[in-house]
Amino acid sequence: MKWLMRRCPKCSRYTLKETCPVCESQTKSPHPPKFSPDDKYAQQRMKGSITVSESLEYPIT
């Protein structure tokens, strides 16, 4: 399933477009990755060698 909602990391606005209509920056998906009990990369993520999407670092307002 493709997510439609996008979030601008600069101004924290939500939109359906690839670029923010207010500040013209690239938008990212605000949705977390899918959960899987058979996650192959869980150990690497916990150690910090794999980073999660940057859009999850910003607080949702």
Where do the structural domains in the chain lie, given as residue ranges?
A: 1-32
CB 41, CB 49: distance < 8 Å? no
What's the pLDDT score for residue 56?
54
What's the pLDDT score for residue 59?
54
Question: What letter would DSSP give residue 6?
Answer: E
What's the pLDDT score for residue 15?
92
Q: pLDDT for 1-56, tens place per residue? A: 566 899 998 998 999 999 999 999 999 888 877 777 777 777 776 776 655 565 55
What's the pLDDT score for residue 23?
92
What's the pLDDT score for residue 14?
92
Separation of first and last alpha carbons in the chain? 25
What's the pLDDT score for residue 50?
57
